[in-house]
Structure 1
Amino acid sequence: MAATAHPLMVGHALHSPSTRYTILEFIGEGSFGKVAKCRAHNSSKLVAVKILKKTYFQNVEDELSVLKTISSLNADHFNLVTFYEQFEYLGHKCLVFELLDVDLLHLVRSLNVNFIRPIAKQLMVALQGLKAVKIMHNDIKPNNIMMVNIDDSSFSVKLIDFGVASPISAATPGLRIQPTGYRAPEICLGLPYSGAIDMWGAGCTLAFLFLNDNLFPVHCEYLMMQSMVEMLGMPSKQQLQFGLYSKKFFCHEVDELGTRWRLLTPEEYKSRNRTKAEEWPEYRPHLSSLDDLLYVSVLYDI
């Protein structure tokens, strides 16, 4: 019979087969559970312990499988968070990782390209490592990339949170992965995809660091797609023809020029999906191409 999870508080100790971890403070929370800053008794090292909710237990085996796969990589060389161990204590499943600093979402400032460039290089190395072991992260965004030490001028970062990562071989068209605003077009449209979707997430993250804002809207799928079309152009006819979700955002019609696809209006989107499209934010300029980012200091008034 499974043990009933007891509530945990600061000062409580989590006992693993190798040591005990004293909870110093809770530093994060999400749908998976909580993250606690802990001190390991056997080494006095500070670590981050991911304490999972019982409703998340069914997913932990997939995460552990991915962590086991990437453990063959040198975590420091490939800029990946180091995973130490997993254990269960008083009904809590716990994953122990190295303790990092602040995530990129909470830098709360735009960065000069000279600072973004080394972060980009480190992200590319991380993706190179994941590709080597045939793993997709599926959730690359600013708060899943953490500074190793914010006081270090070298801007050393690591990729964290493999909770929704999966083998490349498990890629299935139609899966709803990646967060809104960081979701690759092939995921939006329900097309076949590969580990290239992580490169899209990385690109959106680097743009966030430059803009101090999201490149594509994150609170409305329709606005996200509208922004993609304005900035990058319409998806190809072939992509729209075979996309499982193409008709969520686009319609197929015939006019004097022949058969063509177009983006739904906000009213059509609401009627078709029974979900209201949000209004375009007043502060946000419409960018007609990625080249517009060259003038971002004017467009975003930063």
Structure 2
Amino acid sequence: MRRSPQLPSPPRRYQSGTAQLVDRDKAVEEETLPGYDPEEFYPVHIGEIFHRKYQVLGKLGFGATSTVWLCHDLRDHRYVTLKVYTRTPTSPPQINREVQAYRHLSTIRSSHAGRRFVREVLDSLELVRADGSRHHCLVHPPLHITIRDFQRLGRKSTGLPEDVLKGLLLHLLPALDFLHTEANITHCDVKASNLMLTIEDEGVLVDFEQAERENPCPRKVVSSERTIYASRDFRHPEDYNWGYPVLCDFGEARIGSSHPYKVIQPEIYRAPEIIMETEWSHSVDIWNTGCLIWDIFENKHLFDARNEEGEHSNRFHVAEMVACLGTPPIELLQRSERAPLVFDEAGHWKGNPPLPQLSLEASEEHLEGANKAAFLNFMRSMLTWLPEERNTARELLEDPWLCGRV
């Protein structure tokens, strides 16, 4: 018997009259970003319906290149997240790397287990304004909180417990293996704020919608066309069931297995080949992951990379690497035109700045005995000077420390 198609949901009705209005002289949300230009951001309104399908329920957040909204899919009767990018420049044309990466991913036919740990895209669309400017949009399943926020749920920020860290890696590493081996993508921005937990309990979304209807978020009415809304957090995130972590935000992703030098990665997570301005490949994600593990387990940066004035410095960054990992092989130094700035012809550190008193053993504070030794071996298999000597994501999944075979 043929099942009748579902009818579209009726649009929600919103009353904004009780919303708190923010003073027009006060900068809020995306207006606080350096170099903010209102014409770069699409003027989304709560209650608005895009493409006769996605009705905006509330604002989840903002960034330098997008605003993010919880929506209801009126046709498929589900909650979705709508990411609305800033205006697509036409002169000179620029690449939206996240849209490009997801278009590429849509062409990959794969049953790789790690694919489900990469954030899915349900739809993509463009919004066109009256002046003809265009804004890319991606539609995703909603996600809960980031690993960064998960860490902060307690009263005092602490590192993740060892078993939780291992659980996280058993999802992140398959995602990276899928990206590197089958999709031929380097993420380039693996950090705690780009790892998010899936939603197991849709009540968190129902409560978000109800909260917006009953207590509309504060807003600043800039003009008849533009309103700046305050982002709304999920209510009491610890009261709901979380799912598994997925890797998000492909705004820095690159397609291909080898690339000429270009500045990528967060400063403190930059691999040696990026600092030394040489060619790079997927293995920068592995170095990045090692630094991230240290951050979320030890609750401190492995490399601080700051000079006496508190500013990021490549010299200080490399000095800390030498202190922790030893002198890099001559082979790596010969690849870099910048290496002679801090290393002599024999590959020795020139002493500017002096090497700090650092070591992995002294910096690791939570483990003991054979378990500590195994963890540090795991770390060293990611933090190797030569990119080709780093373990791959697949090899890391078989590591004795991660697999509990210590």
Structure 1 and Structure 2 fold alike (TM over 0.5): yes
Find the aligned partners of 2:146 and 2:174 in 1 and give their Cα distance: 18
Equivalent position of 2:74 in the other structure: 41
Equivalent position of 2:211 in the other structure: none
Equivalent position of 2:183 in the other structure: 133
- Contact between 1:174 and 1:244, CA under 8 Å: does it hold in 2? no
Once structures 1 and 2 are overlaid, which stretch shifts more, 199-208 or 71-80?
71-80
Structure number with higher relative contact order (C-alpha < 8 Å, ≥ 6 residues apart): 2
AA at the equivalent of 1:287: L
1:122 maps onto 2:155 in alignment: no
- Contact between 1:191 and 1:239, CA under 8 Å: does it hold in 2? no
AA at the equivalent of 1:168: G
Equivalent position of 1:164 in the other structure: 252
Q: Report the Cα offset of residue 293 of structure 1.
A: 4.3
By percentage of residues, which structure has more strand?
1
- Deviation string for 1:180-235 (max 9, x for gaps)? 11111111112222211111122222222212233222761334333222211222
1:238 maps onto 2:331 in alignment: yes
CA spacing shift, 1:48–1:266, aligned 2, 3 Å: farther
TM-score by length of 2: 0.58
Once structures 1 and 2 are overlaid, which stretch shifts more, 25-34 or 114-123?
25-34
- Contact between 2:88 and 2:136, CA under 8 Å: does it hold in 1? no
- Picking from 139, 143, 147, the partner of 1:100 is 143
AA at the equivalent of 2:325: L
Q: Report the Cα offset of residue 119 of structure 1.
A: 0.7
- Picking from 17, 32, 44, the partner of 2:65 is 32
Q: Report the Cα offset of residue 94 of structure 1.
A: 0.8
- Deviation string for 1:48-90 (max 9, x for gaps)? 2211111567445543332133233469853010111111123
1:265 maps onto 2:352 in alignment: yes
Equivalent position of 2:365 in the other structure: 295
TM-score by length of 1: 0.76
- Contact between 2:122 and 2:141, CA under 8 Å: does it hold in 1? yes
* Structure 1 runs not aligned, ≥5 long: 254-258, 268-284
- Contact between 1:119 and 1:157, CA under 8 Å: does it hold in 2? yes
SS in 1 for 2:293: helix
Q: CA RMSD in A?
A: 3.2
Find the aligned partners of 1:226 and 1:10 in 2 and give their Cα distance: 50
Once structures 1 and 2 are overlaid, which stretch shifts more, 217-226 or 90-99?
217-226
Equivalent position of 1:80 in the other structure: 118
Equivalent position of 1:282 in the other structure: none
Structure of higher CA gyration radius:
2
Once structures 1 and 2 are overlaid, which stretch shifts more, 66-75 or 221-230?
66-75
1:13 maps onto 2:49 in alignment: yes
Between the aligned residues of both structures, percent identity stands at 25
- Contact between 2:190 and 2:292, CA under 8 Å: does it hold in 1? yes
- Contact between 2:96 and 2:251, CA under 8 Å: does it hold in 1? no
- In the alignment of these two chains, the number of paired residues is 269
- Picking from 236, 261, 264, the partner of 1:174 is 261
CA spacing shift, 1:226–1:29, aligned 2, 3 Å: farther
Once structures 1 and 2 are overlaid, which stretch shifts more, 37-46 or 177-186?
37-46
Find the aligned partners of 1:263 and 1:158 in 2 and give their Cα distance: 43
